[in-house]
Structure 1
């Protein structure tokens, strides 16, 4: 026989699992609705309240999952960058020639910006708005900063650092400075040149990076 306490525990566990499942589904619905809204309508014209309605939940529920619109767009955009970071770490582990690895990263960034140009433009607007509001570089402790939610420069930063440490790239400028310059150029072009082919964007970014960082012959 099952003791009353054990039966109660099983009921509590089942309710907890159901609550977790509901929360996971709600979060996924909000992310999907936000992706579609930001991509189609842009940053300024998209409200969290509208996203909540499209996801079938209340605005309060949406804010319970994502405290600000800046965080929400960051969570939507972050998975695209996560795949690039995995590739960068894999290339470093294989000790792949850094110029080859960087070239592939540039191509991937340009394709991301082009094939998701509505979302990329919206993310860029969010970053610019937050930067103007705070008037500072990202504070690692600020969980609301979309630049922290989406570590856009991380893949290039790791590869450039690897290239500098191995002597394949110039030591100056710093990995942080050149990675930020490349990513900022990409983001600005996502606003000003939305329909620019990915190949054209990639060539521009590659020229900036390689001419700056390739050691003299």
Structure 2
């Protein structure tokens, strides 16, 4: 795709993210998105055939601006990844819009768990590394717990959004881990994990 076309597409996604994050799927009008993006309807329809396809792009590309480690390392990194996401949700419009769309069952996410499965696979990779390092209890199913974690994170961030506008989300995620870790980690591994919402992450 031509560089100018790539720029237009990216501009549309970011403008749409702002509108979807503010108004939700049904409240977001195409004209408002076009005005914010500064592009024509023709330019939009060159890239996206409908508001639904634009919303789906926002939902699937929600992590574009999030810096995460590329190599799985195990439980501490898994904890740190969820902490990074908690912090990003406090200010990252694209991530917040993608998350909002993903939980909106009246929008493009209805009966579509693609984005949830993407995060579950990302989490599972850390669990596979944790097992290789002897950090997991033998009874833990990597894929099953990855899906449990996605569901738990999703519910926790929704509660935080409603209660404090995500202000307390890092604290809530660390609290979540205090209860989850004993169920998946060996006592030795659990004792090594730092659950600090103010922790400076290694890749920052």
TM-score, shorter chain, exceeding 0.5 = yes
The structure having more radius of gyration, on CA atoms, is 1
Aligned length: 179
Mapped contact 1:42–1:119 kept (Cα < 8 A): no
* Secondary structure in 1 matching 2:80: helix
Find out whether 1:123 has 2:98 as its counterpart. yes
Specify the alignment match of 1:8 in structure 2: none
Specify the alignment match of 1:133 in structure 2: 110
Larger helix share, 1 or 2: 1
User: Quick one: structure 1 residues 113 and 180, their matched pair in 2 at CA, closer, same or farther if it must change by over 3 Å?
Assistant: farther
* Secondary structure in 1 matching 2:2: helix
Find out whether 1:74 has 2:63 as its counterpart. no
User: Quick one: structure 1 residues 24 and 48, their matched pair in 2 at CA, closer, same or farther if it must change by over 3 Å?
Assistant: same
CA distance in 1, matches of 2:182, 2:170: 18
Counterparts of residues 11-160 of structure 1 (less than 5 Å): 20-67=2-49, 68-81=53-66, 83-84=67-68, 87-89=69-71, 92=73, 98-116=74-92, 120-128=95-103, 129=105, 133-134=110-111, 138=113, 145-147=114-116, 151-160=118-127
- CA-to-partner distance for each residue in 1:99-153, whole Å, 9 max, x for gaps? 322332232122122333x65554334223269733x7x4xxxxxx4446xx223
Unaligned runs of 5+ in 1: 1-18, 93-97, 139-144
CA distance in 1, matches of 2:61, 2:133: 35
**Alpha-carbon offset, residue 159 of structure 1:** 0.8
> Which of 154, 164, 180 is 1:209 aligned to?
180
Please give the root-mean-square deviation of Cα atoms over the aligned residues, in Å: 3.0
| TM norm structure 2 | 0.70
Q: Which runs of 4+ in 1 moved over 4 A?
A: 118-121, 145-148
User: Quick one: structure 1 residues 45 and 157, their matched pair in 2 at CA, closer, same or farther if it must change by over 3 Å?
Assistant: same
User: Quick one: structure 1 residues 175 and 208, their matched pair in 2 at CA, closer, same or farther if it must change by over 3 Å?
Assistant: farther
Specify the alignment match of 1:182 in structure 2: 149
| TM norm structure 1 | 0.66
